[in-house]
Amino acid sequence: MNEITQILLSPQGVGCDSEELMPLVYNDLRRMAAARMASEAQGQTLQPTALVHDAWLRMFGNGERRWQNRGHFFGEATEAMRRILIERARRKSRLKHGQGWVRLDIDELSLAEATPDDKVLLINEALEHLEAEDPERAKVVVMKFFGGLTNQEVAKILGVAERTVERQWAYAKAWLFQNIREQI
């Protein structure tokens, strides 16, 4: 168990404030980000710091925060990364398609023609549906897809078996794809 989770799980750690955690969390976020990017990046230069920095601002921008436990914390951390990545994808998508796009107009898009950024946005919209139906599985998707965590890490964070994470992730991917297809 790493340092930050130890703090978060210790009796005193419940409700401990962001200032204390900052350096630890920062390292962990960086590691999380690096892990995600390293997973499929052969021979590429990766700069996770900028992403982590943004995530950090999202989480701490509004002053002090308190987390109940590590699940809560990592949930928010990966959520923050999701928001950043989505914002960027939106921006790029808008540039590509011209201005004035606030939300992706699904009707005018077929999956085959969509850019990867568009697809990320589509997945995100489907994920919003999943969140409405089953927040627990949606959380796994956020951690896996946007947070770049491994099955093992997600399992530890959520306190479930690794096998469960694998099963939920596989199912969610199919569910999301189906949801996208239904909408296009």
Partner 1 sequence: MDDTLSREEEVFDAARKLEDPAERGAYLDRACDDDPKLRERVEALLSIHSHAEELFTECFSALRSSADNPESPAAERDLARGGEEEQPGAQIGHYKILQKIGEGGCGAVYTAEQEKPMRRLVALKVIKLGMDTRAVIARFDAERQALAMMDHPNIAKVLDAGATHTGRPYFVMELVRGTRITDYCDQNQLDTRDRLELFIQICNAIQHAHQKGIIHRDIKPSNIIVTLHDGLPVPKVIDFGIAKATEAPLTDKTLLTLQNQLIGTPAYMSPEQAATGGLDIDTRSDIYSLGVLLYELLTGKTPFDSKTLLQSGLDEMRRTLRDEEPQRPSALLTVLAGSDLTTTAARRHAEPPRLIALMRGDLDWIVMKALEKERARRYETANGLAMDIKRYLTNEPVMARPPSRTYRLQKLVRRNKVVFIATAAVSAALIAGLGTSTWLFLQEREARQRAVAAEHQQIRLTQDAERARSNEAKLRLQAEARERITQAEVLVSQGRFDEADKMIREVSPMGPSVEHAAVLRSLSEWHALQSRWTQAVDRFGLLLQVNQLDGWDQSSLDFLGCGVCLIESGAADHYDGFRQAGLFRFASTTNAVGAERIVKISLLESPDTTRIESLAPLARLAAESFATVDSHDTEASFRAAWGSVSLALWEYRQGHYAESIVWARRCLAFPDYNAPRAATAHLELALALSQTGQRDESLRELSQARQSIESKFNEGLEPGSAAQGFWFDWVFARILLREASE
Residues 88-147 that bind partner 1 (CB under 8 A): 88-92, 94-95, 99-100, 111, 116-117, 119-120, 123, 133-134, 136-137, 145-146
- One of 6, 10, 47, 152 touching partner 1 (CB under 8 A): 47
Query: How far apart, in whole angstroms, are the C-alpha atoms of residue 58 and residue 175?
Result: 29
Alpha helices in the chain (DSSP H): 3-9, 18-38, 48-60, 70-97, 116-133, 135-141, 151-158, 162-183
Residues 6+ apart with CB under 8 A from 119: 111
Instruction: Confirm if 55 and 80 have CB atoms less than 8 A apart.
Output: yes
| Cβ 109 to partner 1 shortest distance, Å | 14
36 is an interface residue for partner 1 by CB under 8 A:
yes
23 is an interface residue for partner 1 by CB under 8 A:
no
- Encode 123-147: b = buried (16+ Cβ within 10 Å), e = exposed: bbbbbebbeeeeeebbbbbbbbbbb
- One of 1, 12, 42, 44 touching partner 1 (CB under 8 A): 44
Query: How far apart, in whole angstroms, are the C-alpha atoms of residue 167 and residue 160?
Result: 12
Query: How far apart, in whole angstroms, are the C-alpha atoms of residue 38 and residue 133?
Result: 32
Q: Which is nearer to partner 1, 67 or 175 (CB)?
A: 175
| Cβ 88 to partner 1 shortest distance, Å | 5
174 is an interface residue for partner 1 by CB under 8 A:
yes
| Cβ 41 to partner 1 shortest distance, Å | 6
Which positions lie near partner 1, rule CB under 8 A? Answer: 33, 36-37, 40-41, 44-48, 50-51, 54, 57-58, 61-62, 84-85, 87-92, 94-95, 99-100, 111, 116-117, 119-120, 123, 133-134, 136-137, 145-146, 167-168, 170-171, 173-178, 180-181
